[in-house]
Amino acid sequence: MAYVISDDCIMCGACAAECPVSAISEGDGKYVIDADTCIECGACAGVCPVGAPSN
Ligand code: SF4
Ligand code: SF4
C-alpha cells in the first residue's frame, strides 16, 4: 500500500527531495504522494519533521 501524507504536513518539502521515484508533489495545503508511483521505500517518513507520511 502506498504511503499517504496526513494533514499534519507543514509543506517543508523535505520528503519530495528524498523520494527516489519523484512520487511527491506540492498539493493544496499539503504535499501529496502519487499512489501509482510510490514504491513504499519509507524515505519520506524518515525525513518528515512531523511524521506526516505513513502507510
Ligand atoms: Fe517516495 Fe518512498 Fe515516500 Fe513512496 S515511500 S512517496 S517512494 S519516498
Ligand atoms: Fe510535509 Fe513532512 Fe513532506 Fe515536509 S517532509 S512536505 S512536513 S510530509
pLDDT tens digits, one per residue of 13-44: 999 999 999 999 999 999 999 999 999 999 99
Give the pLDDT of residue 53: 98
Options 3.30.70.20, 3.20.20.70, 1.10.287.1080, 3.90.1150.220; CATH of 4-54:
3.30.70.20
Ligand 2 site-directed mutation target among 12, 18, 54, most atoms within 8 Å of CB:
12
In ligand 2, the atom with minimum distance to the C-alpha of 24 is 3
* Phi, psi (rounded to 5 degrees) for 2: -65, 155
Domain locations in the chain as residue ranges: 4-54
Give the pLDDT of residue 5: 98
C-alpha cell at 1: 500500500
pTM of the model: 0.96
Residue 7: pLDDT band (50, 70, 90) is very high
SS3 18: helix
Give 49's DSSP letter.
T
In angstroms, rounded to a whole number, what is the distance separating the alpha carbons of residues 51 and 12?
Answer: 12
In angstroms, rounded to a whole number, what is the distance separating the alpha carbons of residues 12 and 50?
Answer: 10
